[in-house]
Structure 1
Amino acid sequence: MKWFKIVFIGCIFVFHGRVNAQEQPSTNNATVFPDRVMLSISGNPASERAVSWRTSAGVAVSLGQIAKASEGPFFSENIATVNGTSSFWEEGDASALGHKVVFDNLSPNTTYTYRVGNGDNWSEWFQFTTSSANTEPFHFLYLGDFQNDIKQHCSRLIRQAYSHFPDAEFVLMAGDLVSRSNEDYWSEFFHAGDWIYATIPTMATPGNHEYHSENDTRVFSKHWNQIFVNPQNGPEGLENKSFYVDYQGVRFVSFDSPATGYYNDARINTEKWFHEVLANNPNKWTVVFTHYPVYSCSQGRDNEDYRKVVQPILEKYGVDLVLQGHDHTYCRGQNLENVGENCKNPPMYMVSVAGPKMYGLNVNRWSERAGSQIQLYQNISVDGNKIKVDVYTVTGELYDSFSLEKNKKGINKVIESPEISKIRELTQIPENAKDRYTEEEKSLYRERFEK
C-alpha cells in the first residue's frame, strides 16, 4: 500500500527575535552530580516507573534508591537500592554518560520518594505517585511543539501549566521537543522543565525535528533513547518511539508519524502494529498522540497521502481523541463533512502549540475552534463516560473548552462549554507568514477567521 511522502516546509518561517540555541553560551557541562533527571512510564503505570539522568563520563555506577513516601524524612529503613545501566549520553560521544534505572513491583496508587546517583553523589529526593490499577478518574497535560527558544519562551509555559495543575498524572508531548537533537537544545529543554520532569512522568512522541539529515538519510535523535524509557511494545524498529500505555481506562498510543514517511520498513511495520493495538483495546477510551496532523491547520499544508492511510484506521476503531503538533497553530474539530463511510466513531482532532514559533491558519478551515500566535497548554480530564478538554493560554486564561460524552453504543457527543462563545478567537496572521497568502486568500481568511 502506498503510504505517503511528507513535504516539510516549516523551515521557511522565521520567528522574529529568535536566537539559535547553538549561538548561546553552552551550559551543558556534565559533572559527577546527576542532572537532567527524567521520569517515564516504562510499563504498567500502576507498578512501574523508570528514571534517566546524566553525569560526567567518569561516573560508571548507576543506582536508584526508592521508598514509600512518609510524612517526614524518616524513611531510611525502607529504602531499596536498585542497579541501573549506563551508556553514552549522546550516541557516539564519550564526553558524558547517561544512566537509567527501572523501579518495578511498585504498589498501585502509592506515593514514592526516590533519588538517583552512584552511591557517593546523589540527586535530591523526588517523589511520584503510581496510577490506580482500576478505572478511575484522572487528568493529564497535553503540550504541542516546544522546538526553539525553549529557555526563553517555553520555561514559563510548562511552569504555568504545572502551577495550574500540579496534580496532573503525566505530561503528554506531541513531538518537536527540540529543533535539533544537540546538547544546546536539550540543555534549554531541561532548563525549562527542570525538576518538573523528575516529578511528573513525560510521555512523548517524536516529531520531524527529532530526525535530521546525514548523507541524504534521515537519522533519528542521538539523545531520545537515553532520555525516554517508554514501554517496549512498539513495532519492530520503532521501539521507544511508537508504543502504547493503558492508563485507568484509556489506551494511549504514540504513533511515530515522521518515521513512517522516512523508512519503508517502518511504514509496513507501523501500519500492521497500529491495526493490532487499536483492534485489541480493552479500554473504554482511545487517545492517539502523534506529530503530523491528519487535517492541517497551517497555510500551505495538506498531507493528503498521509491522511488517506491514517484516517480510515482511526475511524475504523473508533479512536476518540487525536492529539497532534507540527503546525504551530491551534485547531480542533471532527470535520464531519469528510468522515468516511465505515466510521465507527468520528475522532476529535486537535492541533496545539506550546513554543514561540507561529504560523498562519489554513484558509481551508475545517475546525470548530482555531487560534494563531498563542502559546497553549491543555488539561484533559477523564471520568467515566466523559472526557473534558480545557485549553489555556500561557497566561492561564481559558481559550477553549469542550467535552466528549460516550453513549452505550460507544459514540461520542461533543458538548462545547458555554463560556467559549464569549471568548474571542485569536486568529491574526503572523507578519512573517503573510507572504504565504495571495490577496484572494487574505480576503478569504478575513471572512473565515476575523468575523
Structure 2
Amino acid sequence: MPIEDEGISILQARAGCIQCNYGSMQKLSGSYIIIGVFLSSFVSLLCYTALTLHIVGMDNLAIHLSAGYAYKIILMAMADIAILGLLLGTAVRLITNPGNNTRIKHLLPLLAAALIIDAAVLTGVIFLPPIYHDYMHGAKPTAPEELIWSVGPSLGFTGKGGSGFDVKTRSIWWFDPGTSEEKAYLLYGTRPERNTMRPIFEIPGGDGKRHEVRFHKLSPSTTYYYTIPMLSDEIFSFVTPPDPAQRNDFHFLNIGDSSNHGHYGHTFFGEISMVARRFYDTSPAEPSFLLLLGDIAHHGRDLLSWEYFFLNGKYLLSRYPTITVPGNHELYDDHGGNLHYFFRQPRYFSFDYENAHFLIINTFDGFGGINGITGKDQYNFIRDDLRANSGKKWIVVGMHVPPISTGDFGMNELLKKQYLDLFSRYRVDLVLMGHDHHYEAFWIDRDTDWNGTLYVINGGGGSRLDHYIMTRKNRQWKTWVHDRNSDYGLYQHDAITEKYHLYGELSWGFLDVHITRNSLTTTYHRWLSMERFLSITGQDLESWTFFPFDRDTWDKNLLSDTEEVHRLVKTRSFP
C-alpha cells in the first residue's frame, strides 16, 4: 500500500474515533442537561411549595389558588427552573467538551449572574415578608419630635382590651409640641360659658405631648361644651347619644380618602367637613360617630399633610367620635406609626354599636405589605368574628381597598376571592370602601331572603378625583356619571359588574348611614361633581389643579349646600 494511502486510512480511522467520542460526549452532555433540569425543577418546586404555604397558610391556600396568586408563584418557579437547568446543562457541556464551546463560554458569566439574581430573589421572597411584616406592624409609635404645631382636639371612644371600643365612654385627645411640668387638662360643662365649666385632667402615662382625657359618666342626650386652655380659647361641643333603652335608630357619617395629597397642595377635605357639619347641624339627625376609610395623610411621615388633615377636619373631629380604617398612604414611610400614635386604634378590630356589629379590616397586612392583601391571621379573625355575629345584628364592614370597582384600580382579584363569598355566607349587610376616588354602589345577592350585601365605594372625601378613568383606553368612563340605564350603559364588562352594579359618579361628597331595627339606609350627598368643578374653575379635564374657592365663588355657586343623589334602602328582620 502506498504510503499516502496508508496515511489517509489512519487519518480516517482517527476521525471516526473522534466523531464517536464526540457523539458519546454529546449524549453524556445531554444526559447531564436532563439530570440538571430535573434536579433543579425538583428543588425549585419544593422551595416554592414551602413558600406558598408559608405566605398564605394551609387554610387559605384554596382562596389564593383560585385568585391566581399561586399562579404567579408557579411562574416564578418556572423561571427558576429554566435558569438553573440552562446553567447546569451549560456547565456540564463546558466541562465535558471544553474545546468546542467557545461561544457558550461567553454566556457563562451571564448565566451565573442570572443564577445569583434568581437566588437573591428567591431568598428575599422567602425571608423578607415575615421580616417586613414584623417591621411594619411591630413599629413602636413614639412622640413625633419633629412636630412643631398643635393639633386637635379629636373626639373618640375609649379603647377596650386592645380590640374594639367601649362605645359608652368618650375620650378627647390633642397634641401640643411644648412641654410643661403641669398636668394638662380641659374644661367642660353643659353650658358654653367658661366660668360654668369644670376641669378634667389627662390620664397618666402620656409622653408630655399627646394629651388625653376620658369621660365615663356622661348624661344621655346631652350637649357638652369644652375648651382646652393650653391650645386656644375656642369652645367645642359634642352630643351624647340617648339611652339605648329609649332609642331605636342611629346615624353615622362616612368619608373616604380625604387628604392623601395634602403635601402637594389644597384638598377639599376642609370644604366637605364644613358642609357635612352644616348638613347635620340643620338636620334632626346627629351622627353617633365618624368612620374614615383611610388615606387621611399623604405619607405616614408627611407631617405637613397630618397638619392639614387635623386643621381641615376640625369641624368633624372635635364633634364626633372618630374611627379610622388603615389606608395605604398612612402606612408609607413610618409603617403606620403616626396613625397609631394619634388615634391609638388596633390595625383591625370589631365592635358593637347599638343593634349593629362593625368590622374594621386592614387590607395591607398580607404578603408584600402595600398590595391590598389581608394576612392569614387577620383573615381567620374576620372569619371567626363574622361566624360569631352572623344573623344577630346588622353587620357593617369598613375596608380601604375595594374588592370590586369600575374605577381606577378596578377589581382586586385576591380580595374578591377572599371576601365576596365569605361576606355572603355570613350575611354581611354593608361594605364601605375607599381607595378609588369616586362614588359607586353594587348590590350582591339582592334577591335572597336576607336581601344581600351593599358594596359602596366612597372615595371622594377631598383628595384628587380619578379623572383619568375618563380618558384611559381600558375600562373608560364615557361620562362622569353612569348606571346600566344611562346612554352609554355600563363602563366595565365582567360577571360582577354586569349582574350587580347600580350606580357610579366622579364627585366629592359624604355618606350618611342610618340604621334602625329593621332597615339600613345609605345616602350619598354630593358636594361638587367633577363636571361642575371644571365649569366653575374654567379648567380642562386633562390638566387641572386644586385651589380654595374665594367667598364670591362660594356664595355665587351655593357651595354651602349638598345634593342627595343616591340612596339605598335595605330591609331585614332579626330575632
TM over 0.5: yes
| CA–CA separation in structure 2 for the residues paired with 1:344 and 1:400 | 22
| Aligned match of 1:204 | 324
CA distance in 1, matches of 2:352, 2:326: 19
Aligned amino acid, residue 58 of structure 1: T
- The yes-or-no answer on 1:404 pairing with 2:404 is no
The residue that corresponds to 2:351 in the other structure is 245
**Rg comparison, structure with higher value:** 2
Residue by residue over 1:261-303, the C-alpha shift from the partner in whole angstroms, topping out at 9 and shown as x without a partner, is 5469971221222123223338521111110112122255321
Please list every run of 5 or more consecutive structure 1 residues that lacks an aligned counterpart in the other structure: 8-27, 89-96, 214-218, 231-239, 410-451
Given the alignment of the two structures, is residue 313 of structure 1 paired with residue 313 of structure 2, yes or no?
Answer: no
Cα distance, 1:377 vs structure 2: 0.8
Q: Which range moves more in the overlay, 313-322 or 65-74?
A: 65-74
Is 1:37 matched with 2:156?
no
Please tell me whether the aligned partners of residues 288 and 321 of structure 2 are also in contact (alpha carbons under 8 angstroms). Answer: yes
Q: Which runs of 5+ in 2 are unaligned?
A: 1-59, 73-145, 160-164, 470-476, 478-490, 529-561
Q: Deviations for 1:122-156, whole angstroms, at most 9, x for unmatched residues? A: 66443222334525311111112122247442211
AA matched with 1:407:
S
**Alignment partner of 1:141 is 2:253:** yes
Q: 1:54 aligns with which of 162, 175, 186?
A: 175
Contact 2:158-2:171 at 8 Å conserved across structures: yes
Which residue in the other structure is 2:278 paired with?
163
Maintained 8 Å contact 1:254/1:288 = yes
Bigger mean CA deviation after superposition, 157-166 or 124-133: 124-133
C-alpha spacing 1:389/1:405, structure 2 compared with 1 (3 Å): same
Partner of 2:103: none
Mark the CA change 1:128 to 1:300 in structure 2 (over 3 Å): closer, same or farther.
Answer: closer
CA RMSD of aligned residues (A): 3.4
Contact 1:51 / 1:100 at 8 angstroms: preserved in 2? yes
* SS across alignment from 1:139: strand
For the pair 1:363 / 2:492, whether they are aligned, the reply is yes
Preserved contact between residue 64 and residue 114 of structure 1 (Cα < 8 Å): no
Question: Contact 2:409/2:436 (CA < 8 Å) preserved in 1?
Answer: no
- The 8 Å contact of residues 170 and 200 in structure 1, kept in 2 or not, is answered as yes
Deviations 1:154-201 (A, max 9, x none): 211121111112322221111111221211111111221124311111
Residue 130 of structure 1 is matched in structure 2 by 240
The equivalent of 2:340 in structure 1 is 225
CA separation of 1:128/1:261 partners in 2, compared to 1, >3 Å: closer, same or farther? farther
1:108 offset after TM fit, Å?
A: 4.1
Q: Tell whether the 8 Å contact from 2:202 to 2:212 is kept in structure 1 after alignment.
A: no
- Go from structure 1 to structure 2 and tell me whether the alpha carbon gap of 1:71 and 1:152 turns closer, same or farther (over 3 Å shift): closer
Asked if the contact 1:133–1:248 (Cα under 8 Å) also holds between the matched residues in 2, the reply is: no
**Structure 1 CA distance for aligned equivalents of residues 375 and 449 of structure 2:** 23
Query: Which whole-Å CA distance do the structure 2 matches of 1:69 and 1:399 have between them?
Result: 37
Higher RCO (Cα < 8 Å, 6 or more apart): 1
Go from structure 1 to structure 2 and tell me whether the alpha carbon gap of 1:102 and 1:313 turns closer, same or farther (over 3 Å shift).
Answer: farther
Structure 1 pair 306/62, CA: closer, same or farther in 2 (3 Å)? farther
Alignment of 1:363-382 (within 5 A): 363-364=492-493, 365-366=497-498, 367-382=500-515
Instruction: From the two aligned structures, give the one with the greater helix fraction.
Output: 2
The residue type paired with residue 273 of structure 2 is I
SS in 1 for 2:332: strand
Change (3 A) 1:154 1:407: same
Question: CA shift at 1:68, angstroms?
Answer: 4.6
Q: Is the 8 A contact 2:183 2:201 kept in 1?
A: no
Give the TM-score taking structure 2 as reference length: 0.56
Structure 1 letter corresponding to 2:177: S
Instruction: Specify whether residues 356 and 371 from structure 1 end up closer, same or farther in structure 2 by C-alpha distance, changes over 3 A only.
Output: farther
Correspondence for 2:99: none
Higher strand share: 1
Alpha-carbon deviation of 1:344?
6.8
* Counterpart Cα distance in 2 of 1:307 and 1:253: 17
